Amino acid sequence: MTLRQQFSLLTGLLVIILLAGNLLVMVMNGRDYFQQQLNARAYDAATSLALSMSQVAADDEVQLTRLMDVLFDRGFFAEIELQRVDNEPIYRRSRDTAGDLPAPRWFMHWVGLDMIPAEADVTRQWQRLGTVRIISHSDFAYRDLWAMVRAELIWFAWVLVVSLVLLQILLGWLFRPLARVERQALAICERQWQVQTEIPRPRELRRMVLAMNKMVQKLQSIFTEQSAMTEQLRAESFNDSVSGLLNRRGFDQRLQHILQRGEEHSGVLMLLQLQNLAELNQAQGRQSVDDVLHLLGAELLRCLQEFPAAFSGRRSGSDFALYIPCADQAQGDTLLQQMYSQLVTSVLSRRKDLVFHLGGVFLQGIQDDPVQALSRADAALRQAQRSPEGRAQLYRSDNSSGVQEWTAGEWRELLTGVLEAGALQLQFLPVISNRNRRLLQFEVFSRIVWQGETLSAARFWPMVEQHQLAARYDATIVAQVLALLEQHAPQESIRYCINISPASVLDEQFHQRLSELFRAAPQLATHIALEVPESSLAGIESALARLAIQLKPFGVTLGVDQVGTGSMAFAYLQRLPLDYIRIDGSFNRGLHQAQDHRFFIQSMVQIAHNLDLLILGEGIEEADDVAVLRQTGVDGMSGYFFSRPLAALADAHAWQLPADDV
């Protein structure tokens, strides 16, 4: 029962009790008054009748009867009786009618008027002739009392209704601050820090609202301080303060995770070196060099915005490194030349007397040695420095891997053919709950099966985005997952996490397509989770918020993947309606040997749990890392330590964590 209902009930009971007491007193007083008046009237009538009969001869029965009839016919008396001394009594009595009662029987029984007989002696001279006995009729009293009660009840009912209406208006005005406080509290749960500007006048409500505002400001301050501390830790540990890019450690860590995580990778590693930075330092000073490095870092970040999974870093004073996912060596060479052209026409223009070279190596496979990869990229850089005709060179080797390469047109034909043929193959990687060691989620991976060859997303996805097919591919994956769930009923509370492209988030037709898919399968939609990489949030935040609002009625959850790799402040965690975040695997690899990684994850766990978000870790391959990650308090984890991706959904549903790993 709500507080308003309790107030209404108590007020209604109070009014009813007051009115009932007032009615009871009125009825009792009315009864006593009518009873007194009726008895007094009977006494007066008896006295008057006795006096009249005293003037009539005792044997004149007709005259005596006539006097009694005149008084009785008025209807005010129930009984008139003359008891003569020497003869039979003469009496007149009213009859009780069966219908048309003056009042309900229960009322008459409850009121119970007590009519006392009035007596008077009939005398002549000094001789007593008889006794007159009169009882007043109570019908008039009952009728008048009942009319009074009915009128009072009607009046009381109107008073009660009007009182309750006015009470509701008053409570609505008084509870308005409480409703705002409730919305304020719910907004805190939704990671929104609302401060009430309308302060109520009543002292108690005013104190409550001011206390809530103070609490909101305090919570926001705590979250801001905690986020700033975590961001500072990330910046100091993994970012270069001058260029704004990753530092050597941060770049090598992410590169190692990509090349050695056991999943196929495909991309181009580039090394950039400024030749005359030392001369610029001597000629113009350190500040000028820092300005150049800052501008170069900003330009590299801008150039990599169209590649969500790309990253760059400063390895030393004049050496920079970049990694951009690509489909094959031909695309890698194209990206290398485009990067050189972009830089030479912007921040590293020849007019600024800055000479630079680019060297790159195309990397593709399951496992690659980061040291060897950097060595080959460095060899290409040296080759570019010695080459008189160009300053960007891709590493060439005699190794013939047998990997087929296609032109841009062939890639487009292949990808559209896959969409039309439905040749997408899905794999499912279990995510284990840290609390009860049971299944929490499945990460969904996609593969292309074409002409007997299986292509991983690392190979074909860069071309999907280049040919603007990301929205179609993401929608196809969602539709295929829903179709599989129709064939194999999903387990209760298990989510299937699908990573969608930033380009899809920006596509309004993709939003409509998702709504159509989920509207057709509303029960299965609650098992779907969509996630985007953190590095792409800067350009899609508003579109992602619109998509989350659109999908909320279907029960679809939203998450952020690769947390820790982006450059955005963690304030987005409270702005977006997220349900979970997933720490990038580069922070989990070698966690037992990296104290700063552990502190970063623990800080993220505190931030996520303060915002009621699940926090998950991925890329776990070593038992030591599992033990340390569990101690940080994450809600779930995944990686090849627990299982490799499962090719069939039926196998995924039947999968169980080995007893040794529980």
> How confident is the model over 146-155, as pLDDT tens digits?
888 888 888 8
Model confidence pLDDT, tens digit, residues 127-144: 788 888 888 888 888 888
Q: What is the pLDDT of residue 233?
A: 80
Pick from 209-223, 261-275, 501-515, 547-561: least confident? 209-223
Please report which helix (H) or strand (E) contains residue 275, including its range.
none
Structure tokens at 412: 């487009």
Cα(234)–Cα(238) distance, rounded to whole angstroms? Answer: 6
Structure tokens at 334: 């194209």
Q: What is the pLDDT of residue 99?
A: 52
> Does pTM top 0.85 for this prediction?
no
For the cut 80, the answer to whether the pLDDT of residue 94 exceeds it is: no
Q: What is the pLDDT of residue 80?
A: 85
The β-bridge relationship of strands 424-433 and 439-450 is antiparallel
Q: What is the mean pLDDT of the chain?
A: 85
**Residue 352 contacts by C-beta under 8 Å, 6 or more apart in sequence?**
292
Q: What is the pLDDT of residue 386?
A: 85
Q: What is the pLDDT of residue 95?
A: 54
Residue with the two structure tokens 């069939």: 648
Please state the rounded mean pLDDT for residues 649-657.
86
Model confidence pLDDT, tens digit, residues 149-189: 888 888 888 888 888 888 888 877 777 777 777 777 777 76
Cα(220)–Cα(477) distance, rounded to whole angstroms? Answer: 38
Structure tokens at 597: 């990684």
Q: What is the pLDDT of residue 400?
A: 43
Please state the rounded mean pLDDT for residues 200-211.
80
Cα(44)–Cα(39) distance, rounded to whole angstroms? Answer: 9
Cα(15)–Cα(7) distance, rounded to whole angstroms? Answer: 12
8 Å CB contact between 195 and 215: no
Please state the rounded mean pLDDT for residues 107-116.
84
Please report which helix (H) or strand (E) contains residue 648, including its range.
none
- The amino acid present at 571, given as its one-letter code, is A
Model confidence pLDDT, tens digit, residues 471-528: 999 999 999 999 999 999 888 889 999 999 999 999 999 999 999 999 999 999 999 9
Q: Categorize the per-residue pLDDT at 97 as very low, low, confident or very high, splitting at 50, 70 and 90.
A: very low
Q: What is the pLDDT of residue 398?
A: 54
For the cut 70, the answer to whether the pLDDT of residue 96 exceeds it is: no
The β-bridge relationship of strands 528-533 and 424-433 is unpaired
Q: What is the pLDDT of residue 207?
A: 83
DSSP 659: G
Q: How many CB atoms lie within 10 A of CB 610?
A: 16
Backbone angles phi, psi at 8, to 5 degrees: -65, -45
Dihedral angle of Cα 582, 588, 591, 595, to the nearest 10 degrees: -50
8 Å CB contact between 110 and 93: no
Burial class of residue 475, CB neighbours in 10 A (0-12, 13-18, 19+): buried
Model confidence pLDDT, tens digit, residues 566-604: 877 888 888 888 999 999 998 988 888 888 889 989 989
Q: Categorize the per-residue pLDDT at 617 as very low, low, confident or very high, splitting at 50, 70 and 90.
A: very high
Model confidence pLDDT, tens digit, residues 24-83: 888 888 888 888 888 898 898 889 888 888 888 777 778 878 888 888 877 788 888 888
For the cut 60, the answer to whether the pLDDT of residue 401 exceeds it is: no
Q: What is the pLDDT of residue 98?
A: 42
Q: In this predicted model, which residue has the larger pLDDT, 19 or 514? A: 514
For the cut 80, the answer to whether the pLDDT of residue 640 exceeds it is: yes
For the cut 90, the answer to whether the pLDDT of residue 112 exceeds it is: no
Please report which helix (H) or strand (E) contains residue 267, including its range.
strand 265-274
Please state the rounded mean pLDDT for residues 77-91.
79
C-beta pairs of 149-155 under 8 Å, 24+ apart in sequence: 149/23, 149/26, 149/27, 149/107, 152/22, 152/23, 152/26, 153/23
Model confidence pLDDT, tens digit, residues 272-313: 998 878 787 888 888 888 888 999 999 999 998 888 889 999
Smallest CA-to-CA distance from 90 within 55, 54, 60 is with 60
Please state the rounded mean pLDDT for residues 621-625.
90
